[in-house]
Chain A
Amino acid sequence: MNFRAIKAIYYFEMARTARTLMQSILAPVISTSLYFVVFGAAIGSRITTMEGVDYGSFIVPGLIMLTLLMQSVMNASFGIYFPKFTGTIYELLSAPISFVEIVIGYVGAAATKSIILGLIILLTSYLFVPVRIAHPFWMVTFLVLTAVTFSLLGFIIGIWADGFEKLQIVPLLIITPLTFLGGAFYSVNVLPPFWQAVTFFNPIVYLISGFRWSFYEVSDVSVAISLGMTLAFLFACIAIIWWIFRTGYRLKN
Chain B
Amino acid sequence: MQDIIQISGLSKTYATGFTALKNVNLGIRRGEIFALLGPNGAGKTTLIGIVCGTVNASTGTVTVDGHDNVTDFRAARELIGLVPQELTTDAFESVWATVSFSRGLFGKPKNPAYIEKILKDLSLWDKKDNKIMTLSGGMKRRVLIAKALSHEPRILFLDEPTAGVDVELRKDMWQVVRDLRASGVTIILTTHYIEEAEDMADRIGVISKGEIILVEEKKELMRKLGKKELALQLQQKLTALPPLLADNKQLALSADGSELIYTYDTQAERTGITRLLAALNEAGIRFRDLSTKQSSLEDIFVGLVHQDRNGAAK
Contacts and interface: CB of A to CB of B under 8 A. Distances in A.
B91 A90 contact: no
Interface stretch (A5-13, A61-69, A199-207): A5-13
B142 interface: no
Q: Name the residue among A3, A8, A86 with the largest chain B CB count within 10 angstroms.
A: A8
Contacts of B88: 86-88, 90
Interface residues of B, number: 35
B42 to A, nearest CB: 18
A45 B162 CA distance: 69
A8 B105 contact: yes
B78 interface: yes
B77 A95 contact: yes
Contacts of A15: 93, 97
Interface residues of A, number: 26
Contacts of A16: 92
A177 to B, nearest CB: 33
Interface stretch (B79-87, B118-126, B229-237, B295-303): B79-87
Contacts of B54: 90, 93-94, 252
A94 B107 contact: no
A91 B107 contact: no
Contacts of A88: 88-90
Contacts of A87: 84, 86, 88
A3 B105 CA distance: 9
B15 interface: yes
A3 to B, nearest CB: 8
B273 interface: no
B55 interface: yes
A2 B74 contact: yes
A94 B100 CA distance: 16
A184 B56 CA distance: 44
Interface string A5-44: 1011100100110010000000000000000000000000
Given A94-B80, A97-B74, 9 more contacts: A3-B107, A7-B104, A86-B91, A87-B84, A87-B88, A90-B82, A91-B102, A91-B147, A96-B74
Q: Which 5 A-B pairs have the closest CB atoms?
A: A8-B104, A87-B88, A96-B74, A96-B77, A94-B52
Interface of A: 2-5, 7-9, 12, 15-16, 19, 86-88, 90-98, 248, 252-253
Interface of B: 14-15, 52-56, 73-78, 80, 82, 84, 86, 88-93, 97, 100-109, 147
25 contacts: A4-B104, A4-B108, A8-B100, A8-B103, A12-B97, A15-B97, A16-B92, A86-B90, A86-B91, A87-B88, A88-B89, A90-B88, A91-B82, A91-B102, A91-B147, A94-B52, A94-B80, A94-B82, A95-B105, A95-B106, A96-B107, A97-B105, A253-B14, A253-B15, A253-B55
